[in-house]
Amino acid sequence: MKGFIYLLEISVALILMLVVLGTISTYKTKESWERADLVTIGNNIGKTLKSEDIIEILNGNFSKIEDLVPPNVDFGLKVSYASKNNITVGCVEYCNYINNLLTDSYVNGHWINFSVEYFDINTLNYIPSNFDAVVFVNYTEYSSRKSNITDYLSKGGVVIGINATFNTGDADFNDIFGLSAVGGGGGAFHFTPYNPSQEEIEKYFLGLGFDINTDNTIGSKKWGYWYIWEDSRRVNITSSNTVDIENKTIDEGIIQNIPEGESFSLKNIGSNTFYMFKVKKVFWDKFVIIQAVNTSFIFEDFSEINDVTGNFNIIEAANEAEMTSNNTAIWISDFPESNEYRTLVKAAIASRVKNWILKDIDYSKEYVAVSSFFPLCCDMPETAELTFYLWYKI
């Protein structure tokens, strides 16, 4: 009898073990199947989306993705290698001036919008991490706020310093932006040799172009002024996609009826050299965007004191710089009114803010991340990486 009970106990234990093992095996199989299913959904999204769909997505329209995602699945979205569509910029002073510099930009079919917000660095004693970038204009407190600035930079923040003069005695200012004094030089100021693998500001400068407000109306024409090479040229929108451009040189006159997408040339009087431009986009109710074509684009000498060089000179003449970069700390000499300088500031920020969350991700869920790459066209070379985060709602 005891032997029978012993055998019965062993049989019951074996049955319980099999049930438990079966449950564990079923759970793991289900978990593995769910993960593979989500990966398949993510890969299908990447293969199905077209170039025009990506533009809609970057502009915040997720309908194409939602059509491809089952109703019991939710998703988040991260973008890399393409500029953020809504960039938040902090300022401590001259905020109206900075806001006027950072006009909205249109590139490769999608918008880049800048939002400028004031903050009191002295009261906070830090730079808020929600700012994608911070712009300091003629700031004089770099020494007392160096730790705040370097801490923000170490966390991936972008700092733009626009200063009228270079102070060789301000060691903290020099250290933040990687500047040092240099003598001699002079001549025409150009971008350093075009190489986006080293520095992308020039690529973004050419890609963004110059936006000319055309909010004036005379008869059937919308018009405004294009400030280029520190001089103004009137630009008329003569139809839904053609413009007239005033030329300052006597031998050229007015360039008439240039269609959207067509190129034209202007002479820089100081260098007596022609440079090519293109009418990139015509927005009747907004503005005209004109794009520089030459990578050898010339700048007027806008530096008050040409005696500085940086870790990487972006605009220079004989090794004397007017704009430098030290990773995400970018120095620009103070400048007069002209569209090219406004574009420089926007290009500096947009070239650095290229890793961002477009749709929130629920990190508390068991998710998978699937990435796909999409080339964008056609204002400048740009390849966006879209990482789709997918998880089950239940």
308-310 vs 242-245, strand pairing mode = unpaired
In this prediction, residue 6 carries a pLDDT of 40
Q: How is residue 380 written in tokens?
A: 């400048």
Percent of the chain with pLDDT over 90: 68
In this prediction, residue 268 carries a pLDDT of 87
Q: What is the mean pLDDT of residues 334-351?
A: 95
Q: How is residue 84 written in tokens?
A: 């953020």
Q: At what angle do helices 201-208 and 339-350 cross, to 10 degrees?
A: 120
| Lowest mean pLDDT across 176-190, 209-223, 343-357 | 176-190
- Report yes or no: 179 and 173 within 8 Å, Cβ to Cβ: yes
- Report yes or no: 89 and 114 within 8 Å, Cβ to Cβ: yes
In this prediction, residue 318 carries a pLDDT of 83
Q: What is the mean pLDDT of residues 235-239?
A: 88
In this prediction, residue 219 carries a pLDDT of 75
- Report yes or no: 118 and 91 within 8 Å, Cβ to Cβ: yes
Question: CA–CA separation, 290 vs 109, rounded Å?
Answer: 15
Q: Give the CA radius of gyration of the chain.
A: 28
Q: What is the mean pLDDT of residues 43-68?
A: 94
In this prediction, residue 181 carries a pLDDT of 83
Question: CA–CA separation, 143 vs 210, rounded Å?
Answer: 35
Give the pTM: 0.88
Q: What is the pLDDT of residues 131-147, one digit of tens each?
A: 999 999 999 999 999 99
Question: CA–CA separation, 166 vs 290, rounded Å?
Answer: 32
Report the mean per-residue pLDDT for the chain: 87
Backbone angles phi, psi at 231, to 5 degrees: -140, 155
- Report yes or no: 173 and 324 within 8 Å, Cβ to Cβ: no
Q: What is the pLDDT of residues 261-310, one digit of tens each?
A: 999 999 888 888 899 999 999 987 788 999 999 999 999 888 766 678 89
Question: CA–CA separation, 90 vs 118, rounded Å?
Answer: 6
Give 36's DSSP letter.
H
**pLDDT surpassing 80 at residue 166:** no
Position 387: which residue type? T
In this prediction, residue 185 carries a pLDDT of 61
In this prediction, residue 4 carries a pLDDT of 39
Q: What is the mean pLDDT of residues 73-92?
A: 97
Question: Between residues 46 and 25, which one has the greater pLDDT?
Answer: 46
Q: How is residue 129 written in tokens?
A: 């991490």
- Report yes or no: 176 and 329 within 8 Å, Cβ to Cβ: yes
Question: CA–CA separation, 288 vs 258, rounded Å?
Answer: 12
Question: CA–CA separation, 205 vs 227, rounded Å?
Answer: 15
- Report yes or no: 390 and 42 within 8 Å, Cβ to Cβ: yes
Q: What is the largest CA-CA distance in the chain?
A: 120
When pLDDT is cut at 50, 70 and 90, the band that residue 19 belongs to is: very low
Runs of H (alpha helix) within 49-200: 51-58, 63-68, 95-101, 121-124, 146-154, 171-177
In this prediction, residue 186 carries a pLDDT of 66
